[in-house]
Structure 1
């Protein structure tokens, strides 16, 4: 059966300025935009610090904060120039917007802007308290778009052919796979990985049913089951994707409540922090 192809026409890349701002998401977004002939919008977020009130040394504190803010603005301008140069070399149509302010506000504005894109591309966070987590969360829950969290451990890919799906039968997982197939029409193989021993999947959509649906779309659908053996699901999924040399991990976001994920850790937090393979998530 011939598979109907779609493709992304607009991509959004959200970058947070920090010490040693990573370029993995930017370069991955440029590679994907070049391959798809898509328009790329880069949103550069700058956290603007405010000097705390103190009766002693207020002027000195204000001066230090002003210097930090100025340096961040300069780095944002430098990153914008890098984006223009690399996108231009790749033949990618690009627009760049720099926004500064309290980071919660910056992240929310970035997510709203990303609604006019087919895919949102961001860098990994570095632990649950990193402000990049705020950017990822806003993108996932406020943009209404699939979010690609880019691993710094892999070079940019321009063509996605093999994906590993972390399957739990949820609506979020189904939506994530559908989003991946729309954004990456080059996908040929979908390996549906069920990790047993983590939660009861008796009432979930069976992986075999979803595999038959994918096969009717002209895809190679492979069913695999792995016993977690007490290990965290994200660790098993990450290791398996690396072993199989997958181009992408696809997963629904937040299998537990967001508070539970934050306090105790969970698949979403672990994958957005430590995955060696880039992860596409949908909510």
Structure 2
């Protein structure tokens, strides 16, 4: 399987160029169709609140939304035309639902989704949890592009977080189309315990990846008080990885809220792209 369709979710103008460049580079590499999408926010009037919203207020709001969409579209088209990729622009109305719902609808028809990390300075209220929701509910792998960008070598040297979970397994196989021939894959398990069954599972995964023609190493790291996210990022720095691959949200939302989560740590702190699967 290869990548033939890519969705780039463009939430705001400041990040549009970076994400458009990343999406275009991938579309160019795989000869894929790239979709750039921005969602127009809806004016929500909550039931039970008696208030009159004048027509000009709606119009002013809609004009501002259209202008923002046009500015993002201009950036997207500028990048894709310069790189000569097969690209499509979508300006989608949220209507009565959240912006993330529209992104999820589009993501489910794509091979890969490209997004940036949440930005409190620019993201609208209805966009604030877009990345979280698309990863959780989109059913497709999501490639997070940090502020540092993607780089031209992504897919040559990988740190793969192994957790023995469904999500970790999905991430392992979702990354395969992104890999260059003969990629270096560093499989890392982080934990204090010794587990023969886990080590056997890592060996099996290593063998399967080697059958795809990749160079695979396995490592067990003891965290010594550090989080799993910190350890994976450290490992990526140590080996010069151009991408981290990890299963996302292997625990409940309650667990993630109270104890912190590997996913959130990678989203917030990684300086290289991270491929998430849930």
- TM-score over 0.5 (shorter chain): yes
Q: Provide, for residues 171-227 of structure 1, a one-character-per-residue CA deviation record: whole Å limited to 9, x for no partner.
A: 211211111112334461110011123x78665463222112222222110112222
Aligned-pair Cα RMSD in Å: 2.9
1:27 has 2:21 as partner: yes
Could you tell me which residue of structure 2 aligns to residue 95 of structure 1? Answer: 88
> How many Å apart are 1:131 and its aligned residue?
5.3
Distance 1:45 1:262, change over 3 A: farther
Contact 1:13 1:120 in 2 (8 A): yes
TM-score w.r.t. the length of structure 2 is 0.85
Q: Which moved more, 1:118-127 or 1:28-37?
A: 118-127
Could you tell me which residue of structure 2 aligns to residue 3 of structure 1? Answer: none
2:101 pairs, out of 92, 104, 108, with: 108
> How many Å apart are 1:258 and its aligned residue?
2.2
Q: Which moved more, 1:273-282 or 1:183-192?
A: 183-192
Cα distance in structure 2, aligned partners of 1:158 and 1:30: 14
Cα distance in structure 2, aligned partners of 1:104 and 1:263: 28
Matches within 5 A, 1:77-88: 77-88=70-81
Could you tell me which residue of structure 2 aligns to residue 75 of structure 1? Answer: 68
Cα distance in structure 2, aligned partners of 1:45 and 1:262: 27
Could you tell me which residue of structure 2 aligns to residue 141 of structure 1? Answer: 136
Could you tell me which residue of structure 2 aligns to residue 162 of structure 1? Answer: 157
Q: Provide, for residues 126-175 of structure 1, a one-character-per-residue CA deviation record: whole Å limited to 9, x for no partner.
A: 48x97555322332233321110111123443652111001112221121
Distance 1:256 1:282, change over 3 A: same
**Number of residue pairs aligned between Structure 1 and Structure 2:** 272
Instruction: Tell me the SS of whatever aligns to 2:175.
Output: helix
TM-score w.r.t. the length of structure 1 is 0.83
Could you tell me which residue of structure 2 aligns to residue 117 of structure 1? Answer: 110
Could you tell me which residue of structure 2 aligns to residue 275 of structure 1? Answer: 270
Distance 1:255 1:59, change over 3 A: closer
1:217 has 2:212 as partner: yes
Q: Which moved more, 1:225-234 or 1:69-78?
A: 69-78
Contact 2:171 2:245 in 1 (8 A): yes
Cα distance in structure 1, aligned partners of 2:125 and 2:260: 14
Could you tell me which residue of structure 2 aligns to residue 250 of structure 1? Answer: 245
2:225 pairs, out of 212, 224, 230, with: 230
Contact 2:158 2:245 in 1 (8 A): yes
